[in-house]
Structure 1
C-alpha cells in the first residue's frame, strides 16, 4: 500500500527520501551515466509510495542534474558534460579550390573493410543497433507478395507507396511535398550527385560548408566542379555573413548544405537562418541542395524544420535517405528537386536507371505500420547518450587543449586537437592498432584541418571502445612530446 506524503515541516518530505536513495545509487556507481533508471511505476512499487510521490522524486533528481527525461523512453542517469570547449570556427580561404580528396576517402573505406578493425571513421550505425530481424521479415513478406514486380525495374520516379510515406514524414518538419514531387534514389549520395549534375557544368563553383562531408567533396571532384568553403559554426551551421560576401564577388552555381546536424560538426542551423539562407539564394536564383540525411536523429524532443519549408521558388533540392537512420545496405534514398524535377528524373535514368524494388517496398511498409517511429525513439535516446559518453572519454584521454563539438543530433563528433597533432599520422598509428578514424583533411577541398579528426558514435559502448579512445588520446599526446 502506498504511503501518504508527509506534511510535517520539520521532517524530510517522502519524495525527497526516495530521491536521495536513488541519488546514492548514482553516486556509488550502481546506476551509471547513460543507464536507464527504473520506471515511475516501478519506483512507486519498490518504495511503497504513490505515483505522485515518485514523480516528485524524479523532479527533485532532474532539478539537481542527476537524471534526465527522454521522450517516451523514461529517465536516464545524466551523462556529465565533457569539460571541453567547442572547436573554433575556422577562417577559410575565399579562393575557389579544385577538390582532391578521393584518395583519402578510398583509404578510409579500405581500412574499414579490414577484419578486427574498430570502425570509428565512417558515419555508419553498427548493425546491432538496427532493426535487422523485423526488416528482414518484412522484406521476405514483401518478396512473396510482390511476385514478378519484385524482380522488375521500378523506373523513376520510383515506387509510389514509398514516395507517399516520404511525403507524410516531410510534413512533420515544416515542409509540404506531394508524392509526385519525390524521386527515389540509391541512397542520398546518388540524390546529391543528380542534383549537382542538374544545376552545374564542369568547372562550376559550388559553395559548401567548411568542414564538410568528404562524400560531398568526392562528388564535386568526380564531376570536375570547384568548391568555395564557407566557415561553419559548430552549433549554428554555415556563416551566412561569409556566404553573403562570397555571393557578391563570385559566380556560384549552387550551394550545398546540411542545415540539420551537419557532418562532421553536428551543427543545427536556427530556423531564422534557414529562412534567410533560402531567401538570399533565391534573390540570385541559386539552387540550394539541402542534405537532410541526419534530420530524423535529433537528440531533443522535436524534429527540426527543413530549409525546404521556406522555399517559394522551387530552388531547394531536398535530399535524404534511410542509410543513417535505418538500413545502410538497403541503399534507399530520395530527392525532391523542386523546379529541377524533370532534369533529375532524366538523369536518374543515366545514373542507375532504377532503385532496387524490394528494399523500397520493405521500407515503405516499415514506415506505414509505425515500426520506424518506434525504432527511432530508442535510436535517438541511444545516440544522444553515446555521443556524450564518447565526448566525455575524449575529455579524459586526449591532450590538454583538445576541443570537441556538442552536437544536438546525429552520431558523429568533431575533435580539434592541439596544432602539433597530425591527423594523417594519427590515422596511420591508430590503424596499426586496429582502430580506424577519419582525419580532418578529408573534410576540406584544401585538405586543411590537419589537427582534427571525426569519430563515429554509432558503435555501442564497450570495453574495447573505451580502450580505443584511450589509445587515441595517448597517441595524440606523443605528437606533442
Structure 2
C-alpha cells in the first residue's frame, strides 16, 4: 500500500473519531510506538500522522506526557464570512488609520497584537549575532565591498536548495536578492505596472501592499476571499478582462491566514498565464506551516516564467535584517535593471550571515520550534477569545502564519475598540486597515507571534472585555 495513503488514512480515521465525539477533549491518544505496532507503520509515518492532526488543531502535545485531543474541540467559534468587496474604493480613512496604528511601533510598554512580525523572544538572536561576527571575518575586506548585482551567491544557492521543499526546483541563477520582502514586491510592481493599470488582490489584504499599489498609481481591485481557502477562482475569472496584473499571498495570507488548495493555485496560474497577466506571489509566511509538510506555491505550477516569486526572512528569522529575494521568471532583466537603479547592492555582511545560518541547518531547527510555538499560541488565543469575547465572535482557522482574523457582530467597530485598547497599552489592528473599501469595520487582525505568557492572556482578555462594552 502507498505510504502516503497509509498516513492520510490513519489521520483521517482519528480525525473522524474526534469530530464525531468518540474521542473527547482531553482524551489521551496512543503513543508513537503504540501507533507503529497497531498500524504496522514506521516511526516517521506515525509522527507524520500526529503532525497532521496537530496542524488541524485536533490534538495537542504535552511534554513528557504524549498527545491529547485538543481542548479547542470544545470551542465552537464559527468562521468569518467570505468577503464580498465592491469596486468602490475610499483610501483616505485607511491611510489615516494605518498611520495611527503604526506610529506606536517600537514604543515601550505596549502589547502589540497589531504588528505582524514574530517577537524577538521567538528568534535565535544569540546565534545570529555569532553569524554576523563570522561574516565580517570571512568576507573580503570585512564585507565593506559591494556584492554582485544579483546578490550573494551562497545565499541564492541556499534559497534554491530550500525551494525543493515546495516544488520550486530553482537554481541560484533564477534568484535576485532584495532589501526585504516589501522591496521585492516593490520591484515587481514597478517592473510590471504603470499608473492607471489595475491590480487584483485578496480582500482583506496586507496594508503595506495596498499602500504600495496606491503609491505607484495602480487601481486596486479586491477579490472575494474565503477565510480558509483564499480567493474565489470564479471571481478571478470574471475580472480577467479588467486587470493587468495580480498579487496574491497564497500561503497563510495576512490577515486571514488562509491557504489556497493546490488545485486552486494551479488553476490560478493557468488562468493568468493564458491571459498573459503576470502573477506576483508573496510567500513570506510559507515556512510557518503547522502541518507535516510545507505547502506548495503558485510558482510550483509555473511553466512559462509568468510567476514572480517573492519571499524574505522578515517573518521567520530577523525582521530588521531586511533580507529578501525574487525568482522573477521571464521578467528577470527588468528586475535587475530596477535593482541597479534603486539599490545596486544588498547588505553584504547580513546576507553572508543569513546564508551561513541556512547552510548550517540551524534555520530548519529554529523553524521547527517557532512553528510549534505559533500553533500553541493560536490554540491559546482561540480558547481565550471563546472565554472572554462577546457572544457571536468568529475567528479564522489558520493552518500556519502569524495572523488570526476576528469578526464581531456588526455593531462593534474595531476603530473604536482600538482607541479604547490603546489607553490600556494594548495595540490591535482594526479590519478597516486591510481594505480600500468601506468594509471590515467589525473585524480585526491579531498577531499570534508574541510569546504566550500570563500577561499576554490578560491583555487579550482585556480586549474582549472592552469589546463587550461597545
TM-score (norm 2): 0.86
Which residue of the partner structure matches residue 408 of structure 1? 399
Which residue of the partner structure matches residue 124 of structure 1? 117
The answer to whether structure 1 residue 355 and structure 2 residue 324 are counterparts is no
Question: CA shift at 1:66, angstroms?
Answer: 9.1
Which residue of the partner structure matches residue 315 of structure 1? 306
Question: CA shift at 1:145, angstroms?
Answer: 1.8
Q: Superposed, which structure 2 residues align to 1:331-342 within 5 Å?
A: 331-342=322-333
After superposing the two structures, state which structure 1 stretch, 458-467 or 282-291, moved more: 458-467
Q: Superposed, which structure 2 residues align to 1:94-243 within 5 Å?
A: 94-95=87-88, 101-148=94-141, 150-243=143-236
Which residue of the partner structure matches residue 383 of structure 1? 374
- Describe the SS at the equivalent of 2:225: strand
Question: CA shift at 1:204, angstroms?
Answer: 1.1
Question: CA shift at 1:124, angstroms?
Answer: 0.8
8 A Cα contact 1:188 1:320, kept in partner: yes
Question: CA shift at 1:224, angstroms?
Answer: 1.5
Which residue of the partner structure matches residue 462 of structure 2? 471
Question: CA shift at 1:353, angstroms?
Answer: 2.6
Q: 1:264 aligns with which of 255, 259, 264?
A: 255
Q: Against the structure 1 CA distance between its residues 129 and 201, is the aligned structure 2 distance closer, same or farther, given a 3 Å change threshold?
A: same
Q: 2:355 aligns with which of 364, 368, 371?
A: 364
Tell me, in whole angstroms, the C-alpha distance in 1 between the residues paired with 2:381 and 2:350. Answer: 33
8 A Cα contact 1:79 1:385, kept in partner: no
Tell me, in whole angstroms, the C-alpha distance in 2 between the residues paired with 1:75 and 1:393. Answer: 23
Question: CA shift at 1:477, angstroms?
Answer: 1.0
8 A Cα contact 2:135 2:142, kept in partner: no
After superposing the two structures, state which structure 1 stretch, 444-453 or 318-327, moved more: 444-453
Question: How far does the alpha carbon of each residue in 1:58-105 deviate from its partner, in whole angstroms, 9 at most, with x for none?
Answer: 99xx99x995469x9994555422320010102111457768733332
- Describe the SS at the equivalent of 1:101: helix
Question: CA shift at 1:349, angstroms?
Answer: 2.3
Question: How far does the alpha carbon of each residue in 1:284-339 deviate from its partner, in whole angstroms, 9 at most, with x for none?
Answer: 10000000000000000000011101111211000000010111111101011111
* Count of residues in Structure 1 that have an aligned counterpart in Structure 2: 429
The answer to whether structure 1 residue 245 and structure 2 residue 238 are counterparts is yes
8 A Cα contact 2:89 2:436, kept in partner: no
Which residue of the partner structure matches residue 266 of structure 2? 275
After superposing the two structures, state which structure 1 stretch, 325-334 or 350-359, moved more: 350-359
| Structure 2 unaligned spans of 5+ | 1-22, 34-42
8 A Cα contact 1:73 1:377, kept in partner: no
TM-score (norm 1): 0.84
Q: Superposed, which structure 2 residues align to 1:3-82 within 5 Å?
A: 68=60, 75=66, 77-81=68-72, 82=75
Question: CA shift at 1:447, angstroms?
Answer: 4.6
Which residue of the partner structure matches residue 17 of structure 1? none
After superposing the two structures, state which structure 1 stretch, 171-180 or 400-409, moved more: 171-180
Question: CA shift at 1:107, angstroms?
Answer: 2.1
Tell me, in whole angstroms, the C-alpha distance in 1 between the residues paired with 2:160 and 2:386. Answer: 41
Question: CA shift at 1:277, angstroms?
Answer: 0.1
Which residue of the partner structure matches residue 83 of structure 2? 90
Q: Against the structure 1 CA distance between its residues 434 and 302, is the aligned structure 2 distance closer, same or farther, given a 3 Å change threshold?
A: same
Question: CA shift at 1:195, angstroms?
Answer: 0.4
8 A Cα contact 2:116 2:447, kept in partner: yes
CA RMSD of aligned residues (A): 2.8
- Describe the SS at the equivalent of 2:103: helix
The answer to whether structure 1 residue 326 and structure 2 residue 350 are counterparts is no
Q: Against the structure 1 CA distance between its residues 67 and 408, is the aligned structure 2 distance closer, same or farther, given a 3 Å change threshold?
A: closer
Which residue of the partner structure matches residue 281 of structure 2? 290
Question: How far does the alpha carbon of each residue in 1:115-163 deviate from its partner, in whole angstroms, 9 at most, with x for none?
Answer: 1000110111110110001111111111122141512222421100000
Question: CA shift at 1:278, angstroms?
Answer: 0.2
Which residue of the partner structure matches residue 449 of structure 1? 440
Q: Against the structure 1 CA distance between its residues 75 and 294, is the aligned structure 2 distance closer, same or farther, given a 3 Å change threshold?
A: farther
| Structure 1 unaligned spans of 5+ | 1-22, 32-36, 42-51
Q: Superposed, which structure 2 residues align to 1:395-434 within 5 Å?
A: 395-434=386-425
- Describe the SS at the equivalent of 1:197: helix
Which residue of the partner structure matches residue 7 of structure 1? none
Q: 2:431 aligns with which of 427, 430, 440?
A: 440
Q: Against the structure 1 CA distance between its residues 66 and 260, is the aligned structure 2 distance closer, same or farther, given a 3 Å change threshold?
A: closer
8 A Cα contact 1:99 1:218, kept in partner: no
Q: Against the structure 1 CA distance between its residues 239 and 146, is the aligned structure 2 distance closer, same or farther, given a 3 Å change threshold?
A: same
Question: How far does the alpha carbon of each residue in 1:30-60 deviate from its partner, in whole angstroms, 9 at most, with x for none?
Answer: x9xxxxx9x989xxxxxxxxxx9xx9xx99x
